[in-house]
Structure 1
Amino acid sequence: MKKEPVNSVSAMSGDPSLLRRLNAAAALRVLRERDEITVPELATLIGVSRPTAQDLTAQLLREGRLVELTPGSGSVGRPARRFRFRAEAAHVLGVDIGAHKILVHAADLLGRTVATQRVAVTPELPAALRLDAVREAIAGCLAQPAAAHVRPLATGVGTSGMVDAAGRVVESDSLPQWTGLDLTRELAGPAHGPVVVGNDIQLATLAECTGGVSVGTGDCVYLYVGNRLGIGLWLRGELHRGHRGAAGEMVAGDGWERCYQRLLDWFAGHEGADRPTRENAARAVVTAAAAGDGGARYTLRAFAEALADSLARHVAVLDPQSVVLGGGISRAGALLSEPFAARLGALCPYRPTVQTSVLGEESTAIGAARLALEHIDHAAQKSPTL
């Protein structure tokens, strides 16, 4: 079957500068997906003439976005000129603002991490001090030797709660004094470019479906299983944020609250006088189950099955190809995923593939960097020079 061009705009009429911008954007998308490319290959993939593709490569070379590769030895005749995308030409930042940590990733234009910085915080920290910790973490990341040449074009931020399109936290019950904060404004600064903000679970979903275990999947449900539950939706190859950015929010009545009661009950009977919380109960059960404790394994299985019960309606309605388990409790691996998958398969018309995240606690920061890259792409299509 013949593959369609990524974006055929050569036959369009209208503003020539618009055509150049669209062609350049299409070329950059293709170049990012390949280790190297020739002019004829680029022309075919984006649906333009060879002279247009030659002009595009010349333009992108001038702008420092391409590198011409040295021809290989041993070829007969004049070798074709080959190019690669210059991912190191610029960088973005991805920031995860959590209850227990601030995590910052500096990434190149392919989303590859070049430096990280982590700052520990507490759930009770006031908003002003948490914002100070974010600024400290960003400065610490940029001060590392690996980030010596990093001058971020944009910064993506992931945070708990519902976040609107302007970067304001509409509602958050996880972080004190967080509801109503305009993070785009609070974190704006010339040192790290424009700031774009998203929900942490949605950005973890973006990371998993563009660079994790679910790459290439058209429809995926990401389930964050930590000291809280959260759902992220990847539909038709795109992150689904919802009309007001609240897609995937868990609501009372889904039954998910009952899942954690099993962990709390086990903890209360095995961990002495410590007050059970979702966080310490989950950690204790996962640790004991991994060590072979039969009671902990039974509890984790019951938790997994109850989790599947609460998610089954979402999965049945969406009919995704895969479900990805992330968050701290997902570290239990097969002890969680296997009973979860079996129960989900028994409840749903079609059983999705169930996978465990490979990105772990890095997923939101990685997804935030991807969000910043998306922002750059959109800006590039509007730029008079692209």
Structure 2
Amino acid sequence: MAGTGTDLNRLRELNSLSIVRALRGNPPSTVTELSARTGLSRPSADVMVKALVADGWATVVEPAANSVVGRPARRYQFRADAGHVLGIDVGGHKILAMLADLDGTVVHSTRVAVTPDADPASRLAAMDTVIANCLAETGFSGDDLWAITVGVTGPVDETGRTTLFTPLPGWTSVNPAEHLAARFDAPIRVENDCKLAAVAERWHGVAQDADDIVYLLAGIRTGAGLIIDGTLRRGYGGAAGEIGALRQVRWLGAPAHLQNCPGLPESVAPDDAAAWVFSAARDGDKAAKAAVRRYVRDLAVGAAALVLTLDPHVVVVGGGYSRSADIILEPLERELQRLCLRVPEIRASTLADEGVALGALRLALDEVDARLFTTSLPAPLAPPAG
């Protein structure tokens, strides 16, 4: 029985989506290659990709000037610059914004320093400044943003607030999504920073080969992000992984072992105490080595609870203290061997302080994928001139 016009239109749309998925993340491709990847006939793939070029989703890549043998096959490439997403890390000491195209390539990043005791108005103003600078320095406007994700400290509920707790002064009263929605039409999502860092490790970090991941934030603050079967776990109220709230886990006081190390010079600021202790421990200082052991012992209690509960493939140690992984990882593994039935691989993050913003980008891209590349494919907005 012949299909209706609506059926045919839907079939064309699904075939276009198949071509887009075959183009994204791949080098420029010929029609023959696209046909093989999608299962479409070569004539159908040819029609679909030409329509995508006309609609602005793909471009033709001209053959190299030195192509002299016959007429080279025309190649096509997904137009990743058709739209952009923004990931923002609103932290205690900094606010970092990263702008990426639809392939996830970071095209620009901007940051400003903030003080840990900054009030909500000051922190929001700093966030607005970072976003404005990021757009101005790239020549984009708010209309060029297709999705925005903001990472904040503390468990995030379904409204985007951190109502349970957060170390950011007054931040429980702030709704970042509502604040940004007054200026941007793009979908806005707010998520916990540890959870975003876990997402970043699986996307661009040291856990790209793993589907079950425990991310440990090791720093002045201790936290965790969980990925199970490749999916970020938020929990019913957004508090999954917040076992540090249980005092018996000993995460709340773990950094104090480093900050109160005997022999720590008075001239060393509290934020720099851990770096001094790790350096002294490398040099063999007995008090520093003992402080590191006590810190790792407390860190391992919560880590072991998560490992025994989830049996992950990988434990990733991130946060500021991960820069001293050479001091932390080996004693942490020994503690886990003592406490756990099976010890997963323990790896140090290599994303420095960009993990939260990168994870925010990934979630923003997921929003675009779900909205545009799953069930429908409207024509993209024209990119800015130049």
The TM-score normalised by the length of structure 1 is 0.85
- Shift of residue 130, structure 1, vs aligned partner: 0.9
Question: Residues 28 and 169 from structure 1, CA distance in 2 versus in 1: closer, same or farther, beyond 3 angstroms?
Answer: farther
RMSD across aligned positions (CA): 2.7
**Distance across 2 between alignment mates of 1:192 and 1:359:** 30
| Equivalent residue, structure 1, for 2:139 | 148
Question: Residues 166 and 271 from structure 1, CA distance in 2 versus in 1: closer, same or farther, beyond 3 angstroms?
Answer: same
Match among 334, 342, 347 for residue 342 of structure 1: 334
Percent of aligned positions that are identical: 40
Match among 274, 282, 285 for residue 293 of structure 1: 285
How many residues of Structure 1 are paired with residues of Structure 2 in the alignment? 368
1:84 matched to 2:77? The reply is yes
| Equivalent residue, structure 2, for 1:134 | 127
| Equivalent residue, structure 1, for 2:158 | 165
| Conserved 8 A contact 1:111-1:366 | no
List alignment gaps of at least 5 residues for structure 2.
Answer: 1-5, 380-386
| Equivalent residue, structure 2, for 1:106 | 99
**Distance across 1 between alignment mates of 2:280 and 2:23:** 48
Question: Residues 21 and 315 from structure 1, CA distance in 2 versus in 1: closer, same or farther, beyond 3 angstroms?
Answer: farther
Question: Residues 319 and 59 from structure 1, CA distance in 2 versus in 1: closer, same or farther, beyond 3 angstroms?
Answer: farther
| Equivalent residue, structure 1, for 2:118 | 125
**Distance across 2 between alignment mates of 1:286 and 1:60:** 55
1:260 matched to 2:255? The reply is yes
| Conserved 8 A contact 1:264-1:276 | no
**Distance across 2 between alignment mates of 1:43 and 1:20:** 15
Question: Residues 79 and 165 from structure 1, CA distance in 2 versus in 1: closer, same or farther, beyond 3 angstroms?
Answer: farther
Question: Residues 291 and 20 from structure 1, CA distance in 2 versus in 1: closer, same or farther, beyond 3 angstroms?
Answer: farther
Corresponding letter in the other structure for 2:289: R
| Conserved 8 A contact 2:30-2:75 | yes
| Equivalent residue, structure 1, for 2:169 | 176
| Conserved 8 A contact 2:17-2:377 | no
**Distance across 2 between alignment mates of 1:238 and 1:37:** 30
Corresponding letter in the other structure for 2:150: V
1:353 matched to 2:345? The reply is yes
- Shift of residue 15, structure 1, vs aligned partner: 4.9
- Shift of residue 202, structure 1, vs aligned partner: 0.8
| Conserved 8 A contact 2:14-2:375 | no
- Shift of residue 76, structure 1, vs aligned partner: 6.1
- Shift of residue 70, structure 1, vs aligned partner: 2.7
The TM-score normalised by the length of structure 2 is 0.85
**Distance across 2 between alignment mates of 1:215 and 1:283:** 28
| Conserved 8 A contact 1:210-1:216 | no
| Equivalent residue, structure 2, for 1:368 | 360
| Equivalent residue, structure 2, for 1:222 | 215
| Equivalent residue, structure 2, for 1:244 | 237
- Shift of residue 276, structure 1, vs aligned partner: 8.4
- Shift of residue 142, structure 1, vs aligned partner: 1.7
| Equivalent residue, structure 1, for 2:384 | none
1:281 matched to 2:276? The reply is no
**Distance across 2 between alignment mates of 1:319 and 1:263:** 29
- Shift of residue 23, structure 1, vs aligned partner: 4.4
List alignment gaps of at least 5 residues for structure 1.
Answer: 1-13
1:34 matched to 2:34? The reply is no
**Distance across 1 between alignment mates of 2:40 and 2:337:** 46
**Distance across 1 between alignment mates of 2:102 and 2:296:** 38
- Shift of residue 53, structure 1, vs aligned partner: 2.9
Match among 286, 294, 305 for residue 297 of structure 2: 305
**Distance across 1 between alignment mates of 2:229 and 2:82:** 31
| Conserved 8 A contact 1:93-1:192 | no
Corresponding letter in the other structure for 1:155: I
